[in-house]
Amino acid sequence: MEKIINDFSIGLFFWQVVLFIALLLLLRKYAWNPILNAVNDREEGIKNALLEADKARQEMENLKSDNEKILKEARIERDTMLKEAREIKNNMITEAKDQAKDQANKIIEQAKVSIQNEKISAIADMKRQVANLSINIAEKVVKEQLSDEAKQLKLVENLLKDVKLS
Amino acid sequence: MHEFYRHRIHISDMQRNTLVQLLTFLLLTIVFTASAQHEKNEVIQHGNNHETTQHNEHDKDLSLEEQIKKDIEHHIQDSHSFHLTKGIGFPLPVILWDEGLHIFSSSELDHGVAEINGKHYAISHNNNHIYKTDATGVINYNEKGLETNAKPLDFSITKNVFIIMLVGLLMFLLFASLAKSYKNNNGIPKGFGRFFEPVVMYIRDEIARPNIGEKHYKKYMPYLLTIFFFIWFVNLLGLTPLGANITGNLAVTAALAVLTFIITTLTAKKDYWKHIFWMPDVPVLMKIVLAPIELLGTFIKPFSLMIRLYANMMAGHIVLMTIIGLMFIFKNWIGSSLSFGLAFGLSILELLVATLQAYIFTMLSALYFGAASEEHEHEMTH
């Protein structure tokens, strides 16, 4: 112990303290601070770059999903438009058909009515002609039958026989 | 004979291979042993020569074992001159304060006493410190082997101070250039930085952040980084042939521990002192008992930092040097190669220890800073 104290060199202690502090101050100014700052900056840079890359990727993904959404919407719209067109077409066809049918029915109806009228008038005409014909025939028959006196009298007699005095 | 050949033919290829290997091994062993025997004799002769020359140069009455012990002691101690190996080195400036400033080259102390401005100084070979002597340069020792001469205030640039300066310069150039490479290269390191950046990040993310907290850790980062790299580099440099045992010197670890203590104390928040002197949520009697213990703890913490680093590095150097020294004591091919292998293994272990000790010092410093800057939410509401 005494030997250790005896061998302790104050001069070396002094130089070690002085040189070490000098080295510390010099290195702090010219080495450690620049190195640590550079490393810090680099780390920050890497972190920021990674963050930005992440953001960009997120944006890309958003864009992609947006695109997909738009595409999907467009597809849906196209589908609905097609469907609507088809419906309109069908409606138009049915409407046209209905209208045509109505028209046809109306025409048929009118035709029936006019046919009926024609028939009635024809029948009436026929009746008039038959009546005329009958009258003419009857006239001729009567004229024939009543061409002599004897027959006129007989007729009167027969008519009178039918007539009952009331 | 005929029988034998028939038998030989029945040996399968595999068995023959095994046989050949066995024979080769035996042959080699014999050759090795023979040559080793030869070498051993040579080594012993050479070793004896070496021993005698060394004895002539230094202390005539020292055995090889004592010489190795002395070398180890010399290695772990600081020195006033820079010696790489025998004959290669240079003197360093000696700066003394002894009723005035004296600056001279350590080479003047190489041959015993040096006379500077009418005063006499000599280096004690016990601890390599400079003592005041008379004109003959005799240093007196008391019964415990400690120097009794007066000691001047010694601010010399010793070998350790020189290497600390070197490491400081190296660190400054290295990390300043790393900082510059960040600036020039859009925040991406180049060259050496590629290796050191993960270490810096580790200290920030695994040591400072969890132990100090997100809020305050930035303030302590320069200190933690400096102390980690300083201890690490110095420890690693201690394993090179430069052989500087800097972190195994108590003065150095004491200085580092004192710095940690000062920073802890100066940046401590109200809560830290409250936890020391008036521990919340315990009975009053316990508060009174705990206060001196906690206060003592604040000093024991940096003290343990000092001792831990010192003892680990010191022990590592001593063990490594001892095992290397064993090579010269064994002086035969088994013992010396064994100690070479051991020294090699231990060097690798020391590489780990060098890093581990730097990590532990930094980690514990961060822990103490964390305790100092901690703010308890529940106390704020009281």
The tokens describing B372, both together, are 């100092």
- At A55-106, the pLDDT tens digits run 999 999 999 999 999 999 999 999 999 999 999 999 999 999 999 999 999 9
- Chain B residues in contact with A46 (beta carbon < 8 A): none
Q: Please give, rounded to a whole number of angstroms, the shortest distance from the CA of B171 to a CA of chain A.
A: 8
DSSP B151-174: --EE----HHHHHHHHHHHHHHHH
Per-residue pLDDT at B22: 54
Who contacts B70 (Cβ-Cβ below 8 Å, separation ≥6)?
Answer: B58, B59, B62
Judged by average pLDDT, the poorest of A22-36, B133-147, B153-167, B227-241 is B133-147
Closest CA to B314 of B376, B244, B227, B215: B244
Asked if residues A9 and B249 have their Cβ atoms less than 8 Å apart, the reply is yes
Asked if residues B324 and B272 have their Cβ atoms less than 8 Å apart, the reply is no
Who contacts B131 (Cβ-Cβ below 8 Å, separation ≥6)?
Answer: B121, B122, B123, B124, B139, B147, B149, B150, B151, B152
Closest CA to B347 of B367, B317, B376: B317
Q: Say whether B251 and A36 touch across the interface (CB within 8 A).
A: no
pLDDT of residue B363 exceeding 60: yes
Asked if residues B190 and A45 have their Cβ atoms less than 8 Å apart, the reply is no
Nearest CA in chain B to A7: B127
Per-residue pLDDT at B43: 39
Nearest CA in chain A to B149: A6
B211 HSE (CA, 13 A, CB side)? 22
Question: Among partner residues A23, A28, A36, which is closest to B168 by beta-carbon distance?
Answer: A23
C-alpha–C-alpha distance, residues A7 and B73, integer Å: 12
Nearest CA in chain A to B172: A27
Q: Please give, rounded to a whole number of angstroms, the shortest distance from the CA of A22 to a CA of chain B.
A: 9
Report how far apart, in Å, the C-alpha atoms of B280 and of each of A37, B123, B377 are.
Answer: 38, 55, 13
A47 HSE (CA, 13 A, CB side)? 6
Per-residue pLDDT at A166: 58
Whose tokens are 């680093």? That residue is B309
Q: Specify the pTM.
A: 0.70
Report how far apart, in Å, the C-alpha atoms of A143 and of each of A131, A158, B271 are.
Answer: 17, 17, 163
Asked if residues B200 and A54 have their Cβ atoms less than 8 Å apart, the reply is no
Per-residue pLDDT at B48: 41
Whose tokens are 């024809």? That residue is A122
* CA dihedral (A105, A110, A115, A116) positive or negative: positive
Asked if residues B253 and B309 have their Cβ atoms less than 8 Å apart, the reply is yes
Who contacts B363 (Cβ-Cβ below 8 Å, separation ≥6)?
Answer: B207, B211
* Residue B369 contacts A where some CB pair is shorter than 8 Å: no
Q: Which amino acid is at B223?
A: Y
Per-residue pLDDT at A17: 93
C-alpha–C-alpha distance, residues A145 and A136, integer Å: 14
- Give, rounded to a whole angstrom, the gap between the first and last alpha carbons of chain B: 105
Q: Say whether A20 and B188 touch across the interface (CB within 8 A).
A: no
Q: Please give, rounded to a whole number of angstroms, the shortest distance from the CA of A1 to a CA of chain B.
A: 11
Q: Say whether B225 and A3 touch across the interface (CB within 8 A).
A: no
Closest CA to B170 of B219, B237, B114: B237
Q: Say whether A11 and B144 touch across the interface (CB within 8 A).
A: no
Average pLDDT of the residues in A130-138: 87
C-alpha–C-alpha distance, residues B141 and B144, integer Å: 8
DSSP B316-345: HHHHHHHHHHHHHHH-SHHHHHHHHHHHHH
Q: Please give, rounded to a whole number of angstroms, the shortest distance from the CA of B146 to a CA of chain A.
A: 7
Asked if residues B178 and A36 have their Cβ atoms less than 8 Å apart, the reply is no
Asked if residues B203 and B124 have their Cβ atoms less than 8 Å apart, the reply is no
* Residue B182 contacts A where some CB pair is shorter than 8 Å: yes
Average pLDDT of the residues in A42-65: 93
C-alpha–C-alpha distance, residues A73 and B105, integer Å: 96
Closest CA to B160 of A112, A16, A92: A16
- At B239-275, the pLDDT tens digits run 887 767 888 889 999 999 999 999 999 988 888 888 8
Per-residue pLDDT at A70: 95
Q: Which amino acid is at B292?
A: P
Asked if residues B163 and B246 have their Cβ atoms less than 8 Å apart, the reply is yes
* Residue B22 contacts A where some CB pair is shorter than 8 Å: no
Buried b (16+ CB within 10 A) or exposed e, B353-380: bbbebbbbbbbbbbbbbbbbbbeeeeee
C-alpha–C-alpha distance, residues B271 and B370, integer Å: 12
The rounded percent of chain B whose pLDDT value lies above 90 is: 24
Q: Please give, rounded to a whole number of angstroms, the shortest distance from the CA of A18 to a CA of chain B.
A: 9
Q: Please give, rounded to a whole number of angstroms, the shortest distance from the CA of A49 to a CA of chain B.
A: 15
Nearest CA in chain A to B176: A31
The rounded percent of chain A whose pLDDT value lies above 90 is: 58
Report how far apart, in Å, the C-alpha atoms of B105 and of each of B17, B93, B137, B218 are.
Answer: 69, 5, 17, 44
Torsion from C-alpha of B251, B202, B301, B252, nearest 10 degrees: 0
Phi and psi, residue A12, nearest 5°: -65, -40
Phi and psi, residue B191, nearest 5°: 65, -125
The tokens describing A49, both together, are 């770059």
Which residues face B90 on adjacent strands? Answer: B82
Confidence tier at B381 by pLDDT (50, 70, 90): very low
Closest CA to B212 of B204, B306, B280: B204
C-alpha–C-alpha distance, residues B224 and B367, integer Å: 11
- Chain B residues in contact with A31 (beta carbon < 8 A): 172, 175-176, 178-179
- At A121-130, the pLDDT tens digits run 999 988 998 8
Buried b (16+ CB within 10 A) or exposed e, B114-128: bebeeebbbbbebbb
Cα B25–Cα B26–Cα B28 angle in degrees, nearest 5: 65
- At B8-56, the pLDDT tens digits run 444 455 555 665 565 555 444 443 333 334 433 433 444 444 333 333 3
Question: Among partner residues A2, A9, A38, which is closest to B129 by beta-carbon distance?
Answer: A9
